Amino acid sequence: MVSVLLIAKAWNYKSLKSVQYLFILLLSFSIVSFFTLNIYTTSVLSHKILFSRLRYIGYALMCPASLLFISSITDKWVFLQKRFVSFSLFIPSAITILTSVNLIPEDLLVTNFSFLQIYGLSLLQFNNGPLFFMHYLWSNLLIISACILLFTKAFQTTTYFRDYLILSLGMVCGYLIDLYGVAFNPPFRFTMISAGTFLISECAIFYVLQKNHFFGLIKKDHDLQDKFHFQNKLLSLVGHDLTGNIHQLARLSNTLKKDGQENQELIKVINDTSLSSAELISNMMRWVKSQEDNDFKTHHESIDIQELLLRLVDSLATVYPGLKQKVSWQLSATPLYIQTDREMLTSILRNLLTNAHKALFAEKSESFIHIKVTQDLKKTIFEVSDNGVGLGPVELENLFQTNRIKSSGQGYGIGLYLVKMMIDIQRGSIEIKSQQNQGTQVYFSLPS
């Protein structure tokens, strides 16, 4: 019943690997429990022997499925998720299964069955066959590895500590009972009581699934769908807008050629269109780079913040005339250093400065962009502020949502999405405050 409830609860997320491994694990629990109950209910020796052998199909699936399930929810030992590795984990299990169904001589696993009366019940007694040691050693290795993963994760996290601990105890309980039975061969081993302990593991899994949706894995699935949605929208924008920009540049070039004279307004449009296209391509390439690997690597180095700002502003001034005169900065110390990824920090500041410059009022002589940097032992805090057009409450609330990415006169919104992504990768934080016609303040922090 618990297995059915778990499957029903997780069915909508069957595309997740963790849920697929869970289904295999629940199937193994059900196989063992089903054939164990049949041993109790039948009085025919040959039937008892058949059911006793078939139990090992469930045991064979249980241990690799447990390790893969735990690996997927803890996000540890991710190499196990590779197809070849996960397939290899089931090879010893396949030998056990073939033995259980008599495609390999069945006495190699368990042998010498006979009736045994325990607590008034007619059960089976048997001896271990030559292959049993291999089966049991492999099973123990996988289960111990899964327990290590769970306990390690439990003590590495504060958010899910109790939940990982509950899963750990649920697994260890059944494992210790089974280990004691095989090691000391007491009479209660043949009651197959360990099959009942699976209920503890199932209840632990059900509790965790009900409480927090598999440690946020279901949320990750939703985030993945958002990423696909963003990717499709981005590619659609690229195809539409770059084509439009190129056509516009061609038309304007023809007009200038026919006029045979300088036309400052048309030249400005050409310049703005070119910069818009270049910015889109640049941001798109950074996003593509971040998707090449699930783990976007950072390369930390010691960076002089003032030197970086000087180089960046000089670079932007060649593209946006007048920007250099409007940008100022204030550092809490000189020199001020930060250990971080140079390319990411440069990209973050470039996007924020570009956005601030676009937001400034063209007719406002006192327009400014100010950068303030402070630092403590743990983090470096950047503030980029301007007195431009600002943002409304609705825009501000949905600022980092992928569904707000769109083409507009002020840009595409891809830059801010990338800014937040790069800050998150470096375990930083970002906050934006803004008022329409008053300006915007962007605060972000990175570990020092």
pLDDT digits (tens, 9 = 90+) for 269-316: 566 656 656 665 665 665 555 555 444 567 889 999 999 999 888 877
Q: How far apart are CA 241 and CA 273, in angstroms?
A: 10
| pLDDT tens track for 314-331 | 877 877 777 888 999 999
Longest Cα pair distance anywhere in the chain, in angstroms? Answer: 109
Peptide bond into 335 cis (omega under 30): yes
Task: Give 3-state DSSP helix, strand, coil % of the chain, rounded to 5.
Answer: 65, 15, 20
Cβ 385 vs Cβ 439: under 8 Å:
yes
Q: Using a cut of 0.75, tell me whether the model's pTM lies above it.
A: no
Using CA atoms, how far apart are residues 414 and 407, in angstroms rounded to an integer?
Answer: 10
Q: Per-residue pLDDT tens for 110-135?
A: 888 888 777 777 777 778 888 888 88
The pair of structure tokens assigned to 67 is 């390790």
CA dihedral 332, 334, 340, 342 (to 10 degrees): 120
Average pLDDT over residues 219-248: 56
Q: How far apart are alpha carbons 168 and 155 in whole angstroms?
A: 11
Range 20-25 average pLDDT:
88
Closest to 440 in 3D by CA, of 380, 374, 357: 357
Q: Are 414 and 351 in contact (CB under 8 A)?
A: no
What's the CA gap between 346 and 339, in Å, rounded? 13
Q: CA nearest 280: which of 423, 438, 426, 405?
A: 405
Span 86-91, average pLDDT: 91
The pLDDT assigned to 407 comes to: 44
| pLDDT value at 218 more than 60 | no
Confidence of residue 411 (pLDDT cuts 50, 70, 90): very low
The per-residue pLDDT for 228 is 60
Averaged over 357-372, what is the pLDDT?
82
Return the pLDDT at 264: 60
Instruction: Give the C-alpha distances (Å, rounded to integers) separating 355 from 258, 390, 402, 440, 442.
Output: 35, 11, 17, 10, 11
Dist. CA 68–CA 317, nearest whole Å: 53
pLDDT confidence of residue 247:
56
Q: Is 114 exposed, middle or buried (0-12, 13-18, 19+ CB in 10 A)?
A: exposed
Lowest mean pLDDT among 10-14, 36-40, 327-331, 443-447: 10-14
Q: State pLDDT tens for residues 48-59.
A: 888 888 988 988
* Dihedral angle, C-alpha 275, 276, 282, 286, nearest 10 °: 150
The Cβ of residue 147 has, within 10 Å, a number of other Cβ atoms equal to: 19
Residue 222 reports pLDDT greater than 80: no
User: Residue type at 350?
Assistant: R
Q: Which of 76-80, 139-143, 218-222 has the lowest mean pLDDT?
A: 218-222
434: nearest Cα among 385, 361, 371, 368: 385
Alpha helix segments (H runs only) across 238-341: 243-259, 264-291, 305-319, 323-326
